[in-house]
Chains A and B, each alone.
Chain A
Amino acid sequence: MAKSKYKTDFRVIRDQEKCIKCQACVRMCSNDVHYYDPETDSIILQEEKCVGCHFCEDLCPTGAITVKREIPEIKFNQHWDSKDVYNIIKQAETGGVLLTGMGSDKKFKEYFDHIVLNASQVTNPSIDPLREPMELRTFIGRKPDNINDELPPQLVLETPIMFTAMSYGSISLNAQKSLAKAAFEFGTMWNTGEGGLHQELLPYAKNVIVQVASGRFGVDIDYLENAAAVEIKIGQGAKPGIGGHLPGEKVDQEISKTRRIPIGTDALSPAPHHDIYSIEDLKQLIFAIKEATRYKKPVGVKIAAVHNVAPIASGIVRAGADFVVIDGIRGGTGAAPTVIRDNVGIPIELAVAVVDQRLREEGIRNQASLIASGGFRSSADVIKAIALGADAVYIGTAALISLGCHLCQKCYTGKCNWGIATQDPYLTKRLNPEIGAKRSYNLLRAWSLEIKEMLGGMGINAIESLRGNREQLRGVGLTEIELKLLGIKHAGEAW
């Protein structure tokens, strides 16, 4: 019978000339790829265990290790990929659902890569951000219908980029601390996910959005009171329509305290909130949270981008949400069934464009801020999402990459060598939250500077003026229906 365990996606190459047999790789690899044999005084490789996280490569003091991709080959076939074949073998052995981590890596059209930005030439001057002030400050919350009306509570962001919901449990406390500190220092927000707010992160509570999801883990009045804003999680882009599941073995003492469940029990988040079966029920929970927190903070709702996203978002705004988060098909996760992650939902570019358009047509765009998320790779993706109608974006994977993540997609194993998606103290201590905070802060700074450059080039000096300003965008190689849905012209068409 075919055996999946002998197949690997990677080749680990050790340069014997450079290797000094310090065995750092042997000690550090949580997947036991490197093994020291004292009899022959040599380091033996078990490549089949390699997940491709590149930690050893980074760690090796003499640069002796190289990790290379080596996809197991089958006879060339347009229809069957070797991945399909080996997945079937794995399922034949286990009878289980395939699990994966991070956002979808499947070949979908990358709409961001088919959209280009404008710049000023002659007819209006471009602005140099080095000599003129550029405004990235963003306000998240409901804006009044009339300028004389009282302004409802707002979140103030110094850049339109926030760290998305990643729970303590899916990522380590050191990872959360890094992001919390960076958000606090930069003046943006981080998000607890559905895992409660750990005591040690209370100093960064001024900048936290807390999540209320279907399991209601860690949710009590103090949790709501501590937060800057509350987000009701209905769904996420990586797994629209299905619940969450933190296995009991990951619920250790600290996680138990934060989620407020006994040690070792499964933390199951049901697929729907069983007190929300309609927009009216959603309204009830939104206002319950507003009542409980005395109308002092914005309350938002996060959904996955699905076929009906525009009417659903309209319902959410009418239900009283102060912000709506739309998470696209590229949205990340700590664990999701592969088949769901790769096949359910729609791309964020289309979703954000149709939601913004719908809310404008209905005259309710001012009633809620729109936050886009799901696989933003660079400041260009961010600025394009804003021009398509988003007020701000959430980044998750990009933030984790700044902490060391190399996208091996094995977050669900709890063996993350980078100390991010694990609770093993031997692994988590590798991630120094001071350094992590510095690096994720740097990422925010770098992207913000780039956004200022791009804005200046367009002759715009405030991000507010770019919001939904689709004339600044042009499509390249897009069909008529795609251009229509995105609300943009094709490259070559003038204003």
Chain B
Amino acid sequence: MKEIINAEGLHYKELNEKIHNTLLKDSVDEIVLENVVGQRYIAAGLNKKVRFIINGTAGNDLGIFMDGAEIFVNGNAQDGVGNTMNSGKIVVNGSAGDVIGYGMRGGCIYIKKDAGYRVGIHMKSYKENFPVIVIGGSAGDFLGEYMAGGVIIVLGLYSDKLPVGDFVGTGMHGGSIYIKRKNIDERLLGKEVKTKDLSKEDMDLISKYVGDFCKYFSLEQKEILNENFIKLYPYSSRPYGRLYAY
């Protein structure tokens, strides 16, 4: 069953209370939020298989601690999308702010356009949980810092410029980052990462998630996958190994 909530003029606390009360009805499997203007914490800690359609701009910490829900944003999202998220899906048909997917342990985040600074910091994977972030445009500085698992894919579709900033993958000790470009200036990379050519497994992984990305935003998958990708990987799972005098 579908429910529609008009968020106009509501404080985030009131809006989230309404969502919470709506979800008490077991029959509800889809919620449409109209006129969202930056209300925070939508779907925070939600562990139900529910679908959200957000029309407007989703506020900070969209889907924080979320475990299993699906969110489609027709508009932009602010900071902290999918913070410490466990599983589920967030699709942003626009741009998103800073700190996307901080400490994310599973689930997928697809952003059609650009993302801000500090995306995917300390993402980690555990068993069946495998976090994925796909960004269609560009990402800011500090992408994938302290990354411990999962995948970040940056496509840079809307400009010829390099779609990542400085300090990519600083302190990274797991997972991989794929950037759709021929080469990258090593000076931009954290000292714990190296670049690598793609294997068939890498290509399969990219096609899978870029395929989903294209499906959500009605884009042509072939064109995107035609060009080169660079893989960034941590060359040590113990970047801080030989630091101490025992």
Q: A residues near B, CB below 8 A?
A: 90-91, 93-99, 214-216, 219-222, 224-225, 245, 247-248, 256, 260-262, 264-266, 268, 270, 274-275, 284, 287-289, 291-294, 412-413
Asked if B20 and A294 make an inter-chain contact with CB atoms under 8 angstroms apart, the answer reads yes
Contact with A along B216-246 (1 / 0, CB 8 A): 0000000000000000000001111111111
- Asked whether any CB of chain A lies closer than 8 Å to the CB of B156, the reply is no
Contact A216 B148 (CB under 8 A): no
Q: Which single member of B45, B67, B245 contacts A97 (CB below 8 Å)? A: B245
- The residues of A that contact B169 with a CB separation of less than 8 Å are none
**CB closest chain-A residue, reference B142:** A274
Say yes or no: is B124 at the interface (Cβ < 8 Å to chain A).
yes
Prevailing SS type, chain A contact patch: mixed
A292: chain B residues at CB < 8 Å are 41, 44-45, 64-65
Structural contact, A270 and B146, CB atoms closer than 8 A: yes
Q: Which of B13, B145, B146 has the most CB of A within 10 A?
A: B146
- Contact B102 A275, beta carbon cutoff 8 Å: yes
A288-B44, A292-B64 known; A268 and B173 CB under 8 Å?
yes
Contact B174 A265 (CB under 8 A): yes
B residues with a Cβ closer than 8 A to A are 12-13, 16, 20, 40-41, 44-47, 60-61, 64-67, 79-80, 83-84, 86, 99, 102-103, 105, 118, 121-122, 124-127, 129, 142, 145-146, 148-149, 171, 173-174, 237-246
- With A219-B103, A262-B125 given, name 4 new contacts (CB 8 A): A93-B245, A222-B47, A261-B126, A288-B61
CB distance from B21 to the nearest CB of A (A): 11
Complex contacts, A270 vs chain B, CB 8 Å:
121-122, 145-146, 171
Please state if B86 and A268 are interface contacts (CB–CB under 8 Å): no
- Chain B contacts for A288, CB-based, 8 A: 40-41, 44, 61, 64-65, 80, 83
In the complex, what distance in Å separates the CA atom of A495 from the CA atom of B165?
A: 64
Question: CA separation between A268 and B148, bound complex, in Å?
Answer: 9
In the bound complex, residues from chain B placing their C-beta under 8 Å from that of A266 are 173, 237-241
20 A-B pairs with CB atoms under 8 Å apart are A96-B242, A96-B246, A215-B103, A216-B103, A221-B47, A256-B126, A261-B149, A262-B126, A262-B127, A266-B239, A268-B146, A270-B145, A275-B83, A275-B99, A275-B121, A288-B40, A288-B61, A291-B40, A294-B20, A413-B246
CB-defined contacts of A91 to chain B, threshold 8 Å: 245
A291, chain B: closest CB distance, angstroms: 4
Given the complex of chains A and B, what is the CA–CA distance between A340 and B36 in angstroms? 47
Q: Which of A245, A256, A292 has the most CB of B within 10 A?
A: A292
Inter-chain contact B243/A96, CB cutoff 8 Å: yes
A247 to B244, CA, bound (A): 11
Q: Is the CB of A99 within 8 A of B47?
A: no
Contacts A268-B173, A284-B60 given: A97-B84 contact, CB under 8 Å? no
**Which of A97, A98, A287 has its CB near the most chain B CB atoms (within 10 A)?**
A287
Instruction: Please give, as numbers and ranges, the residues of chain A lying within 8 Å of B242 by CB-CB distance.
Output: 96
Task: Give B98's nearest chain A residue, CB to CB.
Answer: A275
Other-chain contact of B105, A224, A247, A260, A265 (Cβ < 8 Å): A260
